[in-house]
Copies of this chain bind each other. A is one copy, B any other.
């Protein structure tokens, strides 16, 4: 029996999940498989989502963010090559070209997994002559970026402009405030613009209480530099904000250049669109942030670059290559974060479709927002929580929910996500047997209560 050669480009969540699951799956199915991973950096399997908490000081070290070191991957049987940047896929020849310490090389494969991720967007105006972010400007993606921020923030308090009002923007604002820096946030539309406006407004209030100066409708468009080349100000159209540092948190873009010459299913922005097994074409696969995912409510493709999907897509892909039949069943757009600074504390979460998203997707959607508490109102652990629930008129189908609340509130979103996952109705969520005791819930659990109020209108 010949050993099949699997090559993975990209050694983070999707790629390493694919690599290890392929080995397990091949073993289960009695197949011979060798797995090589090409990773451009020296880091594998690290938590990009954890970087703001490392910068804030809540996480104590770079090492803590690394789930598995290259050595561990190798011990588990993966031929991992770090500092190995793939440059081109010659699918006809079954070879991937890559550049490593020893120069240009080629590697033959039977199955190639594209798990190249999605680097942060750095607009041209933010780059220096070398193409990298200019002095005082950085993104938040790699561990090296994290180390950069820790160095840059050392010493006297600085004025930091955060460009981007979504998850990473908020998390970085929190990290800066934790160290006593002054923070101004610029966002193209409004903060957390993937929430409906009333919930977004609640987040904006928390930012205000926490001491963040927020400029909405302000897409960062340039920088001014001092004579010595250091950052002087950040511009957003007519707006000019003096700044020592600029966080670029305006999104990511799928890294699919190495297969851009191939005729593969992909979105306009270049995200690959594999089938639920991760298959793009015979012998060619993709997983993780370089891919679109199927949205289970709309049925359409969506770009939702998150580690949780990357892990699952990698697992399904690797399992299939190894001879199994796991599939990635799609996504709901579930997301969660928090903003905590001084007296401000807001947990934020969403799943499925917001009202506007649902209407745009063609649903006859109805929404109700309910305010309540996470525990019995008389219990000291009770925290405020607000949930916006969206359902479909006529069918009573649950479409989504958005949440802003106090400590311990946000994971309530999983109850809604699980209901959405199984195609439940709003009434199902309203009447489900959820857990009640005074320190944990109201007698009619808040999530169900919010659903009940919507069910009465559907």
Contacts and interface: CB of A to CB of B under 8 A. Distances in A.
Interface stretch (A36-44, A191-199, A357-365, A432-440): A432-440
B411 A432 contact: no
A436 B308 contact: yes
Interface stretch (A158-166, A227-235, A416-424): A416-424
Contacts of A447: 414
A67 B308 CA distance: 41
A-B pairs with the 3 shortest C-beta distances?
Answer: A422-B422, A336-B435, A64-B378
Interface stretch (A133-141, A177-185, A326-334): A326-334
Contacts of A429: 418
Contacts of A422: 418-419, 422-424, 428
A445 interface: yes
Interface string A327-362: 011111111111000000001010100000000000
Nearest to A432: B421
A135 to B, nearest CB: 29
Given A422-B419, A434-B334, A435-B417, A443 B351 contact: no
A18 to B, nearest CB: 14
Contact of A414 (B328, B378, B435): B435
Contact of A336 (B412, B432, B441, B444): B441
Contacts of A47: 376, 378, 438, 443
Nearest to A416: B418
A351 B47 CA distance: 32
Interface of A: 13, 47, 49-50, 53, 58-60, 64-65, 167, 296, 306-309, 311-312, 328-338, 347, 349, 351, 376, 378-380, 408, 410-415, 417-419, 421-424, 428-429, 431-441, 443-445, 447
A410 B433 contact: no
A411 B438 contact: no
Contact of A58 (B338, B380, B445): B380
A58 B418 CA distance: 33
A348 to B, nearest CB: 9
A308 B411 contact: no
Given A421-B433, A433-B417, A438-B50, A379 B308 contact: no
A293 to B, nearest CB: 9
Contacts of A334: 433-435
A195 to B, nearest CB: 14
A417 B438 contact: no
Give the oligomeric copy count.
2
Contacts of A329: 431
B308 A349 contact: no
12 contacts: A47-B378, A49-B376, A296-B433, A307-B436, A308-B443, A335-B435, A336-B441, A351-B435, A415-B418, A418-B422, A419-B421, A421-B433
Identify which of A328, A412, A424, A438 gathers the most chain B CB atoms within 10 Å of its CB. Answer: A438
A390 to B, nearest CB: 16
Considering residues A306, A412, A422, which has the most beta carbons from chain B within 10 angstroms of its beta carbon? A422
Nearest to A57: B380
B349 A435 contact: yes
Given A59-B379, A329-B431, A445-B414, A49 B436 contact: yes
A170 to B, nearest CB: 10
Contacts of A59: 378-380, 438
B338 A439 contact: yes
Given A336-B441, A443-B307, A444-B311, A410 B428 contact: no
Contact of A432 (B418, B435, B440): B418
Given A50-B376, A418-B419, 18 more contacts: A50-B379, A58-B379, A58-B380, A59-B380, A306-B436, A308-B443, A311-B444, A331-B433, A333-B433, A334-B433, A334-B435, A336-B437, A338-B439, A351-B435, A414-B414, A417-B433, A417-B434, A421-B433
A421 B380 CA distance: 30
A311 B328 CA distance: 39
A378 B336 CA distance: 18
Contact of A421 (B60, B428, B443): B428
A64 to B, nearest CB: 4
Given A422-B428, A444-B308, A433 B351 contact: yes
Nearest to A330: B433
